[in-house]
Each structure stands twice: as structure tokens, then as C-alpha cells.
Amino acid sequence: MSKELAKTYDPKEIEERTYQKWMDKNYFRAEVNRDKKPFTIVMPPPNITGKLHMGHALDNTMQDILIRYKRMQGYEALWQPGTDHAAIATEVKVTNMLKDKGIDKHEIGREKFLEHCWAWRDEYGRTIINQLKKLGSSADWSRERFTMDEGCSKAVEEVFCRLYEKGWIYKGSRIINWCPKCQTSLSDAEVEHEDQNGFFWHINYPIVGEEGRFVEIATTRPETLLGDTAVAVNPEDERYKDLIGKMLKLPLTDREIPVIADEYVDKEFGTGCVKITPAHDPNDFEVGKRHDLPEINIMNDDATMTDKCGKYAGMDRYEARKAMVEDLDKLGLLVKVVPHTHAVGTHDRCHTTVEPMIKPQWFVRMKEMGQAALDALHTGDLTFVPENYGKTYEHWLENIKDWCISRQLWWGHRIPAYYCEECGELVVQRGGAPEKCPKCGCTHFSQEEDTLDTWFSSALWPFSTLGWPEKTPEMDYFYPTDVLVTGYDIIFFWVIRMMFSGIEQTGKSPFHHVLIHGLVRDSQGRKMSKSLGNGIDPLEVIDKYGADALRLTLMTGNAPGNDMRFYWERVEASRNFANKVWNASRFIMMNMEGKEIPESVDVQTLPAPSKWILHKVNELAKDVTENMDKYELGIAVQKVHDFIWDEFCDWFIEMTKPTLYNGTEEEKGRLLWTLREVLSTALKLLHPFMPFITEEIYCTLNPEEESVMVSAWPEYSADRCFREEAATIELVKESVRRVRDMRTSLNVPPSKEAAMYIVSEDDGVLARFKAAEAFFGTLARASAVALQKDKAGIADDALSVVVPDAVIYIPFSDLVDIEKEKERLNKEVERLEKEIARSNGMLGNEKFISKAPADKVQAERDKLENYTRELEQVRSSLAKFEGR
């Protein structure tokens, strides 16, 4: 062989070179090929602000495993990559970058600011893509897309206009989630609810015309009192029936508000009286609509109080809260303050407490599209792995609300809506502003300032990346995609939106399977986060141990939907496995040097061990294929790992040594063919999980082949099913294990040889042992093996090991030098007796007992107990030698 494996496995030397080879050979490229069946995965587009973290590493490793597997199976496998413009995150980064340079974005204006955003994207936006390449991701980078490239932007405009024309996109004033820091609206999915410690402030509202009588309300946000337009009670609440229709004096204001009856109020919660603030609470908003209540917005966009708030105008919402509570107390209207823990909505990006506000925004009507997405699950067109996540999907869709899609940002897809500057007429259309107003004929228009929610564009990702709305060959061939791989924390954000968008725009579900994975947590089970400082950088792991070791670590024990813990010890174990594969491969290749190895052999004529290992790897190929098709990637890789480490390296390679060292040239050639065949098959099965090391070994082992990644995936063959020979070798393995256990229990040195007598009345069992007797010398240190039907000629002191349908006897004297062992045991008795005497002396000394620390006295008692127990064991062992 012209090429050799290096003496030691060095992932740094291999990985960059190997990845470049794959790129140069264009192996990742997928083409429209009607002669092959397509298989498509669309990469969840990472944010251009992002850097590779463990979640990305897990998600993309799983996708890469599936795409490599399908590529080897002969599919035209497309892994469609790309990045997301991440509107809020990018705008914040660019704004802060400009601020550091003394530039205010509002001073330079929208167009100039967008120039800076594009420049930032060009400089930093590909960082994570380059990092994904280090992981070994075999995506078709020639097709890389960006959510704001020309094609994706055209798709966004087309979808917006289509939905608007159907009446499913509208502009209206509704209550939305508002981030005072980022100063933009948010969808419900972008709001995280976290428990915070707060208070219930109990406040008396005076009843107009009834001096000294009050209605007591309890609120967690007293500052919103200024926006109250009613107090509601349950119509069935006997306590307050006489108050319905009466007016209350709103504290700290000169306004009066009515008492209304609404079933929304829970009689048992709080005081049973609820302040209604339609402009600052989503539930109150609905109550307000039912009772035609006024909506009073009392906060500015930065969460300071508006001019409507009198003396509190201009105060921050929490500053106003403090001042108002003090004033209520002075007026004698503050009844009590009760500690209360409650869920508070925060922006998932900046973690600022979200403020519900009424604002004119653009919305998508969800009723019809939500139902279509539900129907896909119910008909089986969409399935989740594991299945229980279908319930999560179902629950969210059954409770879906209209989607607020407008954002008060500059970076993003600007809404294609235009307002006539003369009459205010609204026109939504493709391709830019109208030439003239359809209502008044004016030719001057202003475009809507708002941009679209980032998720609006990424919802189109499975088809916009393939050229839709154009009728491209790629769209026709690769769509719908086959599987989406994503974490359980993103079902709401993305999966559902892709489903209803895909069905609505293309008439087809965008994918048929959703493979859900869990989170990668730290060794203590905590979520990795910047605040905890417990994040592990995947690039650090790759630099230290290699990408293959990281990938194997992420997949070992991985089960769909379940979280996993990251341990450095597991990475070391993965690296050790890589070393094991490398060293075993080197051993095989060193023995192949200069040997005549047949191109093919009649496997039916091979000896039992070779048939056994071919049978095992044949069964492995079938099992792993079944696991992969069920998305049981963790189970699949564990089976491959165990086969290579245990069956192939620890058993079969050891079995081959007698033939490799002492066999005929023909026997060696046939054995080396088997070794190469099995190793090549195992490398193929391992390749999707550990692509770099398998490529290096496979191409060195098979120099006539281009690459393992374009080789054929192993398939089960009935011709390589050798159950009889497999049973023979399994019997030998079990026998060897039990002999080894016995030797270990007697502290027999590993190099010590001993004769073995295998006794069985069954000729078939003896025949099995006969076929494999040569291996007992290598594997069980047998100096000789005798096969017989009875115990004739076997010494009475022989030790026995029972195996299925046979008993193995080993002369005691072959294992143990009796005189030396008796001498050793007698010395041990003498040592232990001295220790017991010393210990008894100390414990019998009153001064020691009274003055020594209690823990020291107890330690000495524990020692005495251990010495006594050990002495009994040694004397018992010694007794066995008496008479020998």
C-alpha cells in the first residue's frame, strides 16, 4: 500500500485538509436529477449575529448525519443552508457599534443606517457558517441563501400581497406586546414568561355619592390605574350586585369610571373586583371591547408616563409606581401591600419587561391557516419524532391568535404598503409605490415605515430558498422537504409558521417529519447561559479533541426530545474511541503490507470466526439502517461503537493473530480480505457520525476509492447470514469470559498459561469447540486444549467453569504455585495479626480513649473491624491449600 496511516491520530492535521478535499470535489452539491430520488433538509438559518454554540452543534450534527446517510444510500441529498437577518439582534448590534463611534442612527437616517447594516453583515454575518464547516457540515454551500437576499425578499413581498388580497393581512389597533428598550412590537412567541417576586397593592376606589364606601381592588401594576376605564365584578357575585352600574371616583385623577358586570372576573380570586385597563392588558382589552369602554394609553414608547398622567408625566413606569403608591397611602386609599410571585412577560432578546399597549399594527389572520396546519397533523401528512410533541403543536394551534407581524425597526423587510400623501389612501402592491393614487390621482406616496417580523420571512424558508415564487426546477424536485431538525424550544416560533405558510402558498406541507431534540445542558443539568458562565464553546472542544469526538459525544445516548448533559469526560471517551479505531486500522494495514489479498472470496468457505464477524457486521448494517430510518440516531451510533470496540477490536482482531502470525499465505490473504471487508463496512456505518476519521482511514485502506462519503451504504445480505458459526463463536466468547473471570478471582498473572479440558456429552457442542480451539490459546491463555466426553484424566483439584452444555476444567496447579501461594498467605496472616494486636492495644488504652478525638477513636475501631474481616478471608483461602 502506497499510503500509510500516521502513527498517531491527529484530528487537527486531518480535518481541515479533508473538508477542503470534499469542497474541491463538490461532494456536497445536489442537482436536479430525475434518475434519483431526492432527499431534502432545510437548515434552520442561524442568525448573522450568532456564533456557534452547543445547541447549533447538536442541531447541525444531527442534520449532517441524516444527509450523509441518505447521500450514501443513493438519494440526491440536498442540505439547503442559509442565514437569517435577525432584525432585532442585528439592529441592536449595529446601533451600538455606531454609538461607540459617536453616531446616532436617527441623525444619519434610515438609508445610511441600512448601509451600515449590510456592511456589518458582509463583515460578520458569515462567522457562524465558517464555524459550521469546522463541525463537518456537508451542506450545499453553493446554494447558500440569506433571508434578505433578492429572491427571498421577492417571496416575502409576494406572500404579503397575496394574504392582503385575501383579506388575511390587515392593519388595526389592537393590544400588542411592546418592548420599551428595543421600541418595537413583539409576537406572543417572542415573550418569555418568568416568575418574579412582586406585590399585590390593595387600593380603595370611592363610590360616587356614597361617602365612606369603597370598592377594594388588588393590582400588581398600580401605575396602570391612570388608564382604568371601569371596575368589573362577576354578575353572579352577591357581594357586589348592588354596585353594578354605579360610578367610582378613580383615585389620583378627576375622572369617574363605572362598575360593570362581566363573567371574566373570578369571584374567588383577590377581592372579586378587577380594575379594567383596556389599553394595557390583553384580557382587559377584550372586556373593554365587549362593554365599549374607552382605551386610554398612559405610556410612551420608552415606558415613561404620557402627558395625560398629570404630575406623573415623564416619570419612568416604576418611578411613577413608587410615587403613586406613596400618594395613595397619604390619601388613605392604600389598604395593604401583599407579597406576590407572578409570571411577568419579558422580551426573549433583551429580557426587558414587556408592556402591553394598544398600537396600530399589521396582523395576519390565523383562523384558516391555523386550521390547515392542524389538519396536516391529523391526516398524518406531518409527524413529530417523538410523537408527543404533536400535542404541543396541536395545543398551540388550537389557541392561536392573530399574528402581529409589524416591527418598528429599519433592518428587515419593509412592508409593501404605500400611503397617498394627498388623501391618505392605502395601497398594498408588488414592485414598489403606485404611479398614481387610485382614489385621488395624486402621484406622491410614502411607504409604510414598519418592517416585517423576522419570522415572517423565515416562515417561507423551505420554499423561498428553492426559488419560489418562480417555478424553478429545484422547487419542483426538492420540495416538499423531508425532515426538519429542530429543538423543542422553537416549535412555536418557526415550525408552525412554516407549516401554515407552506400549505397556504404551495398547497403542500413544507416537510413530512419534524425531528425534535433537547437542549445540551452543563454537567449539573443547568441550561447553558452567559449569565451563569457555564457555556461550552464547541470550537474549543474541536480544537482540543477534534470535530469527530464532539459529534460522537453529542450523539452518544441522544434520544429524540430529551435533554443531554455535557461532560468533558465523555469527550475524552469519544477521543479514546477514535484512537481505538485508528490503532486497529493501522494494525490491519501493517499486516496487509506485501501480502497477496484476493479481490474476492467465497464467503461460504471461510472459517467460523470470519463467518461470525461477517454475520455480525451484516446484522449491524440492518439494525443501524432501521434505527436511522426511525431517527434513533443515538441508538444507531451506540451499536456501531460497540461493534467496533468490542466485537471487532477486542475479539475478532485478537482471534486473527494466530493465523496472521502462523498461518499459510493463502489463509492470511483470506483473513486479510475479511478484515478489510469488515473494517470498510464498519467505517461506512460510522461515517455519518464521525466523517473525518472514517474518510482518512477508508481512503487509505481502499486507495482505489474516491471517498467514503460517496460510497454505497451497507445493505443486509442473506448470503452473509451465518447463524451456526455465529453461535459457535458466541459460545467460545462466553467460555473465555468465564475463564478470565475465574483467573481474575485467583489473581492469576495474565501471562500464566494453563491446560484446559472441555467436557460435554454433546458431539455438536464438542464440534463447535473443536472449530475454535485455536483461539483459547490467544484469548484464554490455554497451553493446551483437550475435548472429551467425560472427566477421565482430569485432576481432582481442577477448577471448573460451567458454560452452556459443557464444563471447562483447569488444573489448579497450572494456575497457582501452591507453595508460593501458601507462603504469601502465611505472611499476610502474620501482618494482619500484628495490626490487630496494635489496634487492640490502642483501644484498650484508657488515655487514648479519653483524650483522642472521637473521630480518631472511631477510625481505629473501623480499622480493627477491617483487619479482623481480612484475616478471616485469608485464613479461609489458606485452608483451601491444606492437603494440596
What would the mean pLDDT of 274-292 be, rounded to a whole number? 93
Coil/strand/helix, residue 385: strand
Q: What is the mean pLDDT of residues 401-409?
A: 91
Q: Look up residue 467 and give its amino acid.
A: G
The better pLDDT of the pair 794, 485 is held by 485
The enclosing domain of 551 has a CATH number of: 1.10.730.10
Residue 1 pLDDT exceeds 60? no
Query: In the structure grid, which three cell numbers stand for residue 327, read together?
Result: 400618594
Least confident range of 62-76, 798-812, 828-842 = 798-812
Distances from the Cα of 417 to the Cα of 160, 161, 222, 482, angstroms: 10, 9, 39, 35
Q: What CATH number is associated with residue 240?
A: 3.90.740.10
Residue 838 lies in a domain: yes
Name the pTM for this structure: 0.84
Task: Please indicate, yes or no, if residue 488 is contained in any of the structural domains.
Answer: no
- Please tell me the predicted confidence (pLDDT) of residue 365: 95
Tell which wins on pLDDT, 305 or 804. Answer: 305
Q: How far is CA 603 from CA 174, 721, 741, in A?
A: 75, 10, 34
**What is the average pLDDT across 465-489?**
95
Beta carbons within 8 Å of 845's beta carbon, 6+ residues apart: none
Cα separation of the two ends of the chain: 57
C-alpha–C-alpha distance, residues 183 and 180, integer Å: 5
Domain boundary among 782, 815, 848: 815
* 810 in Cβ contact with 795 (< 8 Å): no
What's the pLDDT at 525? 84
Same domain, 768 and 750: yes
Domain span holding position 239: 184-356
At 882 the pLDDT is 66
Interatomic CA distance for residues 208 and 418, integer angstroms? 49
Let me know: does 410 contact 113? Beta carbons within 8 Å: yes
* 230-244, 524-538, 572-586, range with the lowest pLDDT: 524-538
In the predicted model, what is the mean pLDDT of residues 706-726? 94
Residue 688 lies in a domain: yes
The answer to whether residues 331 and 249 belong to one domain is yes
Strand (E) or helix (H) holding 193: strand 191-206
| Domain assignment present for 326 | yes
Distances (CA, A) of 440 to 422, 424, 426, 569: 8, 10, 12, 74
3-state secondary structure of 852: coil
* Separation CA 780–CA 499 (nearest Å): 60
Question: What confidence score (pLDDT) does residue 192 get?
Answer: 83
Task: Single out the residue of 878, 882, 880, 872 nearest to residue 833, CA to CA.
Answer: 872
The number of domains in the chain is 4
Considering 275-279, 850-854, 869-873, the range whose residues carry the highest mean pLDDT is 275-279
Residues 768 and 861 in one domain: no
Indicate if 587 and 630 belong to the same structural domain: yes
- Check: CB of residue 493 under 8 Å from CB of residue 566: no
Within-domain flag for 716: no
Instruction: Compute the average pLDDT of residues 716-724.
Output: 93
Cell digits of residue 784:
493446551
- With residue 345 as reference, give the H or E element that holds it: strand 334-347
Sheet holding 513-517, edge to edge: 76-80, 38-42, 483-487, 513-517, 383-385
Q: Which residues on adjacent β-strands are paired with residue 339?
A: 199
Residues 689, 557 within the same domain: yes
- CA dihedral sign of residues 111, 115, 117, 121: positive
Quote the DSSP letter at residue 647.
Answer: I
For residue 856, the surrounding DSSP H or E stretch is helix 854-881
Question: H helices of 507-632, where?
Answer: 538-545, 547-555, 568-592, 608-629
Q: Using an 8 Å Cβ cutoff, are 789 and 766 in contact? A: yes
Cell of 233: 365584578
What is the number of alpha carbons within 13 Å of residue 145 lying toward its C-beta?
A: 25
Retrieve residue 333's grid coordinates: 386609599
Residue 293 lies in a domain: yes
Report whether the peptide linkage leading into residue 750 is cis, meaning its omega lies within 30 degrees of zero: no
C-alpha 836/C-alpha 852 separation (Å) is 19
| pLDDT level of residue 691 (50, 70, 90 thresholds) | very high
- The answer as to whether 342 is a domain residue is yes
Helix axes 665-686, 691-701, angle to 10 degrees: 150
List the single range of 472-486, 654-668, 765-779 with lowest mean pLDDT. 765-779
Q: Tens digit of pLDDT for each residue in 599-644?
A: 999 999 999 999 999 999 999 999 999 999 999 999 999 999 999 9
Q: Rounded mean pLDDT of 575-585?
A: 97
CATH classification of the domain holding 862: 1.10.287.380
Which residues belong to the annotated binding site for ATP?
530
The answer, yes or no, to whether the previous bond of 46 is cis (omega within 30 of 0) is: no
Asked if residue 469 has a cis previous peptide bond (ω within 30° of 0), the answer is yes
Q: How confident is the model at residue 194 (pLDDT cuts 50, 70, 90)?
A: confident
Where residue 82 falls (left for φ over 0; alpha for ψ -120 to 50; beta otherwise) is: left
**Per-residue burial over 427-461, b = 16 or more CB atoms within 10 Å of its CB, e = otherwise:** bbeeeebbeebeeeeeeebeebebbbbbbbbbbbb
Of residues 798 and 370, the one with the higher pLDDT is 370
Top-confidence residue, 430 or 731: 430
Residue 225 DSSP class: G
Helix, strand, or coil (residue 30): coil
Residue 307, pLDDT above cutoff 80 = yes
CA angle 260, 266, 271 (to 5 degrees): 80
Helix H or strand E segment including 257: strand 256-261
Q: Are residues 792 and 858 in the same domain?
A: no
Annotated binding residues, written as ranges, equal 530
Predicted pLDDT of residue 747: 79
**Statement to judge: residues 687 and 584 lie in one domain:** yes
C-alpha cell at 432: 414598489
Task: Kindly state whether residues 692 and 737 are assigned to the same domain.
Answer: no
The answer on 835 and 744 residing in a single domain is no
Q: In the numeric block, which cell numbers belong to residue 256?
A: 369617574
Question: Tell me, what amino acid is at 869?
Answer: R
Q: Are residues 351 and 216 located together in one domain of the fold?
A: yes
Query: Are 683 and 737 members of one domain?
Result: no
Is residue 687 domain-resident? Answer: yes
pLDDT value at residue 799? 80
**Average pLDDT score over the chain:** 92
Please report, rounded to a whole number, the percentage of residues in the chain having pLDDT higher than 70. Answer: 99
Residues 348 and 202 in one domain: yes
3-state SS, one letter per residue, for 481-528:
CCEEEEEHHHHHHHHHHHHHHHHHHHCCCCCCEEEEECCEECCCCCEC
Bridge partners of residue 247, in order along the sequence: 258
Q: What is the 3-state secondary structure (H, E, C) of 783-805?
A: EEEEEECCCCCCCCCCEEEEECC
